[in-house]
Amino acid sequence: MLRTTSQIISHHAGLERGSAEGYRKLAERYPDNQDFFNMLADENRRHMERVERAYRLGVTDAYEVGITPTQLDPGNYALEEFSGESLEEDSATALRNEETVIRFCLDAAKTSGELLPDLPDTFDYLVKRKKRRVELLRSLT
Amino acid sequence: MSYRTVNELKVGGIMVVLEEPIKGVIELKNYIDGEWVESEASETRDVVNPATLKKIARVPVGHREDVKAAVDAAKDAFPRWRRTTPLSRARYLMALKQLLEENFEELGRIVTMEHGKIIDEARGEVRRGIENVEMATGIPSLMMGYNAEDISRGIDEVLIKQPLGVFACVAPFNFPFMVSLWFMPYAVATGNTYVIKPSPWTPLSTMKLVELIDEAGFPPGVINLVNGEVEPVSEILENPGIKGVSFVGSTKIGRDVIYRNATSHGKRVQAQCSAKNFLVVTPDADVELTVSSLMSSFFGNTGQRCLAGANLVFVGDDQGLMDKTLGVIKERAGAIKMGYGLEEGVQMGPLQAEHRKKRVLGYIESGLEEGATLTMDGREFSCDPYPETCFLGPSIFEGVSLDMTIAREEIFGPVMSVLTAEDLNEAIGMVNSSSYGNAASIFTTNGGTARRFQYDVECGNIGVNIGTAAPMAFFPFSGMKDSFFGDLHGQGKDAVDFFTENKVVIQRWP
């Protein structure tokens, strides 16, 4: 279970890294859409850095950073491997992964509401950005 | 070092901990006149990671000559540093701030290794320290005086703020990185030079801080570091070259040693001392908000902070509110995971040293002997797979009365004492009966109740629906009664005033 803010930040970073890694593979696998998938991967890195920055600039000993009010189960937010045999199949996996990350960001925003000033807003912002990615992925197929 | 740099170090085959920035055993030196130099003392003390009991450094016990050398260097540097413009001095601090940001993660992990607090708390401490550097970069405007034209015909009066010379701080173990930054940035920003003496128990984050000060390019002698114990402190208190001393620690040392000796040698003093903080819950309190704040206040930093909750007072006869609140607290406290703070899922680290744990255990025994009911026993918590030498889980005493030792003395550990008061008057009376006046909090949804509390309570830092009333860098870290000795506090404008002398010039030009 994710009990501390630090764990939430690390788990989010892991999701963004995993997502980016997957998109880099898709960029190699589908040269016609290379730029698109690389763009998504680059954005993953920016999202990760945005959350880390919000945490680093907001963390203080006065807030309740060590004890999250709701513990999240990291097992509920696992990414799928890209093992499809077509762009359609891999895009469907990408969509499911995006939904997983969105779900994590929503839950993290909720549970970090009492922890740090800017963290929930940052997760909410990422949800909006990621919903746009979902639309782009849908339009791909 | 990034958050995502996780070393796959398995402890007990199951846990993953963040990479330790300190490898091996560091031999600590002093930093005097821009050079790292050996102490005159040959004797050393081991610095031990309280979670793993691994030795991580050896620190010299210190010598009076170390302080004399540091003061000489600081005195030599003072005239040049004073003439450096406030804007230039601020730019040195901006360079330091940049380096602190770049080394943020490493600093946090060092704090965890030397102190034991969990990584979130350690990062929070580092952030709090950096905020003081940021605040001090505003010195060109903060240090401005004021003037009045024509106080008499053709005569003007001007107040200017001037630095005094060399200042020093004696820092505590519980916030090893942050506390020297309550003072030093303001001292050097206003044009003084400085000597830092960190706690010998937790000197490593200060060593890293001084490495960054060196990297930032501060001129030699402006900021100096002297490690050690009793002898260096005695010299700091008595050396005529030091104009003022800042201290954070116990009342016994702060009042009887630091304040008395330093003032008798003509120095300015700000001594921020012990506490016994009351958190008052009224019948109309928002339970969820209250519980989260209480958890952090009583058990955060393993109870080792002068703003920690100590006595929890329920107002009124609403047994249901008390049962509900304590029920949730016990449920959450009972689930707290203890361990090494570099393991990210850990929620409570050890006490900083074995003797500190023994002291807290003594208070638990005292509570039992004096008739309080121990409804959660921190001695029964597991810290597996780490050695239990310094670990102690959260404890809750119910049925506590004000005459009990655990309700009066500072425990400095994760122990909650639960008391009851008939009404707000009695609760405020309980708070004010304490010899300490560091912090107090009230939990209520009634504005009138909150106002009454903040108006009548004799404490320097007041929380309203806040469990840990820690002032930001731009406010003074207040405190009164036996919790503070001196006139001007650390941080904020108080710090600027502490480190400057007001000079008044009355001038007439024919």
* pLDDT one-digit tens code per residue, B89-138: 999 999 999 999 999 999 999 999 999 999 999 999 999 999 999 999 99
Contact B144, B484 (CB under 8 A): no
Where helices occur in B84-229 by DSSP H, the ranges are 86-102, 104-115, 119-136, 139-142, 184-189, 204-216
A4 in reach of chain B (CB within 8 A) = yes
- Give the model's confidence band at B172: pLDDT under 50 very low, under 70 low, under 90 confident, else very high: very high
Provide the token pair at B238.
Answer: 């008595």
Beta-carbon separation of B344 and A13 below 8 A? no
Contact B225, B206 (CB under 8 A): yes
B334 in reach of chain A (CB within 8 A) = no
User: Average pLDDT of chain B?
Assistant: 95
- Quote the pLDDT of residue A62: 62
Contact B339, B117 (CB under 8 A): no
Chain B closest-CA separation from residue A72 CA (Å): 12
If you search the block for the tokens 């040293």, which residue do you land on? Answer: B353
- Give the model's confidence band at A140: pLDDT under 50 very low, under 70 low, under 90 confident, else very high: confident
Which residue among A55, A62, A66 places its CB closest to the CB of B118? A66
- Averaged pLDDT, B312-329: 94
Chain A contact probe: residue of B103, B104, B182, B344 with most A CBs at under 10 A: B344
The phi, psi pair for B32, rounded to 5°, reads: -130, 130
- Quote the pLDDT of residue A65: 66
Chain B closest-CA separation from residue A5 CA (Å): 7
**Residues on chain B touching A59 (C-beta within 8 angstroms):** 120, 123-124, 127
Query: Tens of pLDDT along B372-391?
Result: 999 999 999 999 999 999 99
- Quote the pLDDT of residue B13: 37
Most confident by average pLDDT, A82-86, B294-298, B432-436: B432-436
- Quote the pLDDT of residue B1: 54
Q: Which one, of B111, B243, B123, lies nearest residue B175 by Cα? A: B111
Peptide bond into B385 cis (omega under 30): yes
Question: Is the pLDDT score of B402 beyond 90?
Answer: yes
- Quote the pLDDT of residue B16: 60
Chain A contact probe: residue of B2, B3, B105, B346 with most A CBs at under 10 A: B3
Above pLDDT 90, what percent of chain B? Answer: 94
Question: Is the pLDDT score of B5 beyond 90?
Answer: no
Rounded distance between C-alpha atoms, residue A47 and residue A130, angstroms: 10
Above pLDDT 70, what percent of chain A? Answer: 94
Q: Which residues of B belong to the active site?
A: 306
What is the DSSP annotation of B192-205?
A: -EEEEE--TTS-HH
**Residues on chain A touching B6 (C-beta within 8 angstroms):** 10
Chain A closest-CA separation from residue B281 CA (Å): 18
Find the helix or strand (DSSP H, E) in which A40 lies.
helix A34-58
If you search the block for the tokens 């819950």, which residue do you land on? Answer: B281
Rounded distance between C-alpha atoms, residue B343 and residue B351, angstroms: 16
- Quote the pLDDT of residue B57: 98
A65 in reach of chain B (CB within 8 A) = yes
Interior/surface letters B149-172, b for 16+ CB within 10 angstroms, e for the rest = eeeeeeeeeeeebebbbbbbbbbb
Beta-carbon separation of A6 and B123 below 8 A? yes
The pTM of the full predicted model, rounded to 2 decimals, is 0.93
What is the DSSP annotation of B409-460?
A: S---SSEEEEEEESSHHHHHHHHHHSSEESEEEEE-S-HHHHHHHHHH---S
**Residues on chain A touching B475 (C-beta within 8 angstroms):** none
Provide the token pair at B196.
Answer: 């830092």
The alpha carbon of B157 is separated from its chain's Cα centroid by a whole number of angstroms, namely 39
Burial grade of B247 (CB within 10 A; 0-12, 13-18, 19 or more): buried
